[in-house]
Amino acid sequence: MEKSRLLISVRLNSFVHRVEDKAQVIASASQSGCTLKRIRRSRNWLVTGRKEQLASFALDASVGWISVAIEKVLSEYKSPIQQVLERNPEVTIAELMHESGCTLVEARAAIDEYEGL
SS3 for 70?
Answer: helix
| pTM more than 0.75 | no
Q: How far is CA 87 from CA 25, 81, 82, 84, 99, in A?
A: 38, 10, 9, 5, 11
Mean pLDDT by 10 residues, the chain (117 residues): 68 86 88 91 90 87 82 84 88 88 88 81
